A and B are shown apart, each in its own frame.
Chain A
Amino acid sequence: MEPASRLDHNHKLSLREFPYIIRWRDDRCKRCGRCTAVCPVKAIVPSVKVMRSVHSEGPIPTPGSTRRTVQVVEQVTNMERYCTGCGTCALVCPNEAIEPEFNPANKLLHYKNKGGDGYKRGGRRNDPSISTLDRLKFTRISMLTDPALDAGRHEFRIRTLLGRVLAPEAMPLSVVNGKLGIDARNNIFVPPVREIYPIMIGSMSIGALSPPMWEGLAMGVAYLNEVEGMPVVMCSGEGGMPPRLLRSKYLKYFIIQIASGYFGWDEIIHALPHMIEDPAAIEIKYGQGAKPGDGGLLMAQKVLKLIAKIRGVPQMVDLASPPTHQTKYSIEEAVAKMIQSMSMAWGFRVPVYPKISGSKTARAVLNNLARNPYAAALSIDGEDGGTGAAYNVSMDKMGHPIASNLRECYLDLVKQGKQNELPLIAAGGVGKKGNLAANAAALIMLGASAVSIGKYIMQTASDCFGDENNRCNLCNTGQCPRGITTQDPKLYRRLDPDKVAERVVEVFKSADTELKKIFAPMGRSTELPIGMSDGLSIDDKAMAERLGISYAC
């Protein structure tokens, strides 16, 4: 007797459990096979079915049947090969015969733990709702009591400072013949400060990104600086930098990151004597908004020859950076030492700052740094930040939203009168819904000296499919269908680094225009409106109270 399970398919999941259901149209499909060939997860397969048709013919119709085989495209019901909704199939289909459709009633998380391991992915928090940043409105408009400025005519200075700024009382100045000059007698250390564009490109490593993606970003940044005169800086992420870039004049546009795995630092240290420019800054990564308290992870399938060489590791091994720096047993001592050591490596000419995950403990970190004259800034990465690989639970459930975290840190500095001394860099979800300039301006008005963007620029510059409905998010697998987060040449050759660079330039130029369109009606042009909280409102009283801004409805 045949087992019941074979008859009723009870051992199988139904397609309704899957996050994306493939809509395939028999009538349009010409069976070219492109969709099944390109699918990065093999969620669709060409299949052969037997079709039985029953027909009745003759003066006294008598039912008869014929059987024929047909070729179909079929979605598999194996959760290991679930359709991620990336839509590459639709992209390559010549006849618009196939596309994935989001299934909001899916039960992916019920089943995506085969083998006892939790669901890992790339991307960011799967929360498509409107974030706090997108609820903030700019409500202080210059209307008659003072003239609104002209975004097209007035001169705007959209710049910020990266680096520890001396307290006014500490400036080594003296008056000689009615003029101020630097008084060298007291031998006061003047920390290095960079004037940069207030939107930075955050840390995404070579390794997490494919070579053409990282190169495209880097070329875009260099173009913005050299041609457009916009001092945009970009962080390397953990994993080193191309050796030639380390020795080039373009190094000054890059922030080199050191994280708990120290990947790439052997190469960096060896390049130090040959550097002809200092980097823009050094970022010490202690945490990341997308996976707070969790370490870095570059999965073995992405550790191919080039990455292995830059990072100084063997090929095809998982590269896990520990959740914490091994030397970090106390913030009072170890973090200070690390900042000192990195500062010393570049002769105290380079700002060195830590980056942490958004956290309730951020203020404690801040206050420690505020007392450390060598700490150049604090970068706080909120829960909506992205990553190349992490457990889904880390991304979805861990972390702190950036808005209130940044605001309480800023107001803490205000209480101490140090808000200009220690710049705060805010990140995590900036541009999540595409409102890059508005999100950046809102964070600046809440107190950020600069904002950092990662996933937004990556998506925008390279047409990434990912979204907050868990679309694609294959960054961890090395199977990125766009060639953005893969080390497989067959995949990354799809990406043209020149096009990426072009998009980076376009994004920054348009954001610059939009920032002016925000600042001009608010009567601000000569200095970045850091902490101009009277310019902001929100349509929720509790949020307004928490952020110390006005409520407007």
Chain B
Amino acid sequence: MCRLAAITSKDYISPLEPILALETMKEGHDGSGLGLTLKDLGGEFEKLKKYPVLSGICSQDGKKTLDAYMKSRGFTLKHEWRPKIKPVKGIAARDHYFARAYDYPAAFKNRSLPEKEDLLMHTRLGIRKVGEPDGSIFAFSFYPDVITLKEVGDPLEVAEFFGLDKDSLSARVVLAQGRQNTNYAIYLYACHPFFIQGYCSMTNGENTAFVPIREFLSGRGFPGYMGYNSDSEVFTHILHYSVRQLGFPLPYYKDVITPLKAAEIEQREDRDAIRLMKQSLRPLCIDGPNMVIGFTPDGTCFMVQDSKKLRPGVVGGVKGRYALMSEECGVDSAVPKRDREKDFYPMKYDMVIISPQAQEVKVWNQLHG
């Protein structure tokens, strides 16, 4: 089972913090990889918030290809962060790990956000298409104020490899995932968290309904719904589809992935709408066992369970700093000084929603809407 650690905070935090929380949850072999997504960036990116950041990895040749590709698309490099790699046994270093802030092409500078988002996504997909066949470039995210890091290995060792303990990289929201005991031939595009146009999520557990969900998303005619090297990527895309594409308020994500039974729907004030949703979005119903942690473009974080609550998950913290973890010891590591009585273990109807900068926690109950 994958371990998940997320911290949302009003102050900038080091990405090492959720990785240390992951470490407390470690049991058994854990060398399958680490994925990190940072949102609402601090440090050297604090003044670059309006510029999209391309996160990825490339080879020497890939770097040339990437530079040429970005130039041809009209993007100009504003700033580049590169981790100070410290060789760690067992982790094969690749040539270039990077997070590059670019300025938009001139024609897009005054465009609307959705237009810019589409440009960024198409650019990322274009890079992926160019770099994937020979493995010369991996592009994980390309979006303002977001950085994604991924590498195969034990999470703590990967953090050491990236030199995160000594780096000034920081963010207000950090999602970290450690893969455990699944496939040995780990492909970087299969590592959580997954990101698309401001929406991000990571999941533990298998997704038994993966194929029908993937086929449904692939048929939406949206180019970003691709990849699916992991069965968990669909959770991110369902989030994006529900909230961005269909315009549903965030709690309805829960109604999409774990629809209520007919009799339960009748208790809801918005029953007419969710009855219709349940039909039209039937293939997006998950069957677990899954716990999903994610964030939306405004920095809202959430945790949600499958309808049988087959995976652990806990949220705890204080105003200004909340931890969303797959296990209690992770919360203890991230926010040791808190009232543990107020920790919340979302059950099958619950969705925990934490407002940006960890100001407010709401537990939304699906039965009551």
* Residues in A lying within 8 Å of B, measured CB to CB: 140, 142, 145-147, 149, 154-155, 157, 161, 165-171, 173, 175, 178-182, 190, 193, 195, 414-420, 522-527, 529-534
Cβ contact of B211, chosen from A157, A170, A531, cutoff 8 A: A531
State in angstroms the CA–CA spacing of A19 and B262 once bound together: 54
In the complex, the answer to whether B287 meets A527 with C-beta atoms within 8 Å is yes
In the complex, the answer to whether B280 meets A531 with C-beta atoms within 8 Å is no
Contact residues in B for A175 (Cβ distance below 8 Å): 247-249
Which 5 interchain pairs have the tightest Cβ spacing?
A: A417-B219, A523-B208, A146-B206, A180-B273, A527-B285
Contact residues in B for A416 (Cβ distance below 8 Å): 219
State in angstroms the CA–CA spacing of A180 and B308 once bound together: 25
- Is B283 at the interface (CB under 8 A from chain A)? yes
Distance (whole angstroms) from the CB of A175 to the closest CB of chain B:
6
Cβ contact of B215, chosen from A157, A171, A531, cutoff 8 A: A531
Distance (whole angstroms) from the CB of B304 to the closest CB of chain A:
14
Distance (whole angstroms) from the CB of A316 to the closest CB of chain B:
48
Contact residues in A for B209 (Cβ distance below 8 Å): 524, 527, 529, 532
State in angstroms the CA–CA spacing of A530 and B285 once bound together: 11
Distance (whole angstroms) from the CB of B50 to the closest CB of chain A:
28
Contact residues in A for B369 (Cβ distance below 8 Å): 179
State in angstroms the CA–CA spacing of A531 and B272 once bound together: 27
Distance (whole angstroms) from the CB of A207 to the closest CB of chain B:
36
Using CB atoms, name the residue of chain A closest to B206: A146
Given A417-B218, A420-B283, A532-B211; 4 other pairs, CB 8 A cutoff:
A165-B282, A173-B248, A173-B276, A179-B269
Cβ contact of B287, chosen from A180, A415, A523, A533, cutoff 8 A: A523
Contact residues in B for A171 (Cβ distance below 8 Å): 246, 276-277, 280
- Is B220 at the interface (CB under 8 A from chain A)? yes
State in angstroms the CA–CA spacing of A361 and B262 once bound together: 37
Contact residues in B for A532 (Cβ distance below 8 Å): 208-209, 211-212
In the complex, the answer to whether B288 meets A523 with C-beta atoms within 8 Å is yes
In the complex, the answer to whether B219 meets A157 with C-beta atoms within 8 Å is no
In the complex, the answer to whether B211 meets A533 with C-beta atoms within 8 Å is yes
Cβ contact of A167, chosen from B247, B277, B280, cutoff 8 A: B280
- Is B345 at the interface (CB under 8 A from chain A)? no
State in angstroms the CA–CA spacing of A457 and B182 once bound together: 44
In the complex, the answer to whether A181 meets B211 with C-beta atoms within 8 Å is no
In the complex, the answer to whether A419 meets B289 with C-beta atoms within 8 Å is no
Contact residues in B for A182 (Cβ distance below 8 Å): 272-273, 276
Using CB atoms, name the residue of chain A closest to B281: A168
Contact residues in A for B285 (Cβ distance below 8 Å): 526-527
Using CB atoms, name the residue of chain B closest to A534: B211
Known contacts: A180-B248, A526-B285. The answer to whether A193 contacts B270 by CB under 8 A is no
State in angstroms the CA–CA spacing of A145 and B182 once bound together: 8
Contact residues in B for A526 (Cβ distance below 8 Å): 258-259, 285-288, 307-308
Known contacts: A161-B282, A165-B280, A167-B280. The answer to whether A414 contacts B215 by CB under 8 A is yes
29 A-B residue pairs with Cβ-Cβ distance under 8 Å, sorted by A, are: A145-B206, A161-B282, A165-B279, A165-B280, A165-B282, A166-B280, A167-B280, A168-B277, A168-B280, A169-B246, A170-B280, A173-B248, A173-B273, A173-B277, A179-B270, A180-B248, A180-B252, A181-B270, A182-B276, A193-B279, A415-B219, A416-B219, A522-B208, A524-B209, A526-B286, A526-B287, A529-B209, A529-B287, A534-B211
State in angstroms the CA–CA spacing of A452 and B205 once bound together: 35
Distance (whole angstroms) from the CB of B198 to the closest CB of chain A:
18
State in angstroms the CA–CA spacing of A529 and B285 once bound together: 10
Contact residues in A for B283 (Cβ distance below 8 Å): 419-420, 530-531
- Is B119 at the interface (CB under 8 A from chain A)? no
Distance (whole angstroms) from the CB of A549 to the closest CB of chain B:
10
Cβ contact of B219, chosen from A146, A165, A170, A419, cutoff 8 A: A419
Residue from B218, B279, B281 whose CB has the most chain A CB atoms within 10 Å: B279
Contact residues in A for B272 (Cβ distance below 8 Å): 181-182
Contact residues in A for B273 (Cβ distance below 8 Å): 173, 179-182
Known contacts: A416-B219, A417-B216. The answer to whether A523 contacts B289 by CB under 8 A is yes
Proximity bits, B246-258, A CB within 8 Å = 1, else 0: 1111001000001
Contact residues in B for A169 (Cβ distance below 8 Å): 245-246
- Is B186 at the interface (CB under 8 A from chain A)? no
State in angstroms the CA–CA spacing of A415 and B308 once bound together: 31
In the complex, the answer to whether B212 meets A531 with C-beta atoms within 8 Å is yes
Residue from B182, B248, B287, B308 whose CB has the most chain A CB atoms within 10 Å: B287
State in angstroms the CA–CA spacing of A247 and B290 once bound together: 48
- Is B274 at the interface (CB under 8 A from chain A)? yes
Contact residues in B for A415 (Cβ distance below 8 Å): 219
State in angstroms the CA–CA spacing of A308 and B316 once bound together: 74
Known contacts: A154-B308, A529-B209, A530-B283. The answer to whether A178 contacts B249 by CB under 8 A is yes
Known contacts: A180-B270, A417-B221, A420-B282. The answer to whether A142 contacts B215 by CB under 8 A is no
- Is B310 at the interface (CB under 8 A from chain A)? yes
Known contacts: A180-B274, A418-B219, A523-B206. The answer to whether A166 contacts B211 by CB under 8 A is no
Contact residues in B for A147 (Cβ distance below 8 Å): 289, 310
Distance (whole angstroms) from the CB of A533 to the closest CB of chain B:
6
- Is B64 at the interface (CB under 8 A from chain A)? no
Using CB atoms, name the residue of chain A closest to B211: A534
In the complex, the answer to whether B208 meets A190 with C-beta atoms within 8 Å is no
Contact residues in B for A190 (Cβ distance below 8 Å): 276
Cβ contact of A166, chosen from B219, B276, B286, B310, cutoff 8 A: B276
Proximity bits, B200-228, A CB within 8 Å = 1, else 0: 00000110111110011011110000000
- Is B261 at the interface (CB under 8 A from chain A)? yes
Cβ contact of A529, chosen from B212, B289, B307, cutoff 8 A: B212
Distance (whole angstroms) from the CB of A505 to the closest CB of chain B:
22
Using CB atoms, name the residue of chain B closest to A195: B262
Contact residues in A for B210 (Cβ distance below 8 Å): 534
Distance (whole angstroms) from the CB of A223 to the closest CB of chain B:
21
Contact residues in A for B212 (Cβ distance below 8 Å): 529-532
Using CB atoms, name the residue of chain B closest to A169: B246
Contact residues in A for B269 (Cβ distance below 8 Å): 179
Contact residues in A for B206 (Cβ distance below 8 Å): 142, 145-146, 523
Distance (whole angstroms) from the CB of A194 to the closest CB of chain B:
11
Known contacts: A142-B206, A193-B279. The answer to whether A179 contacts B249 by CB under 8 A is yes
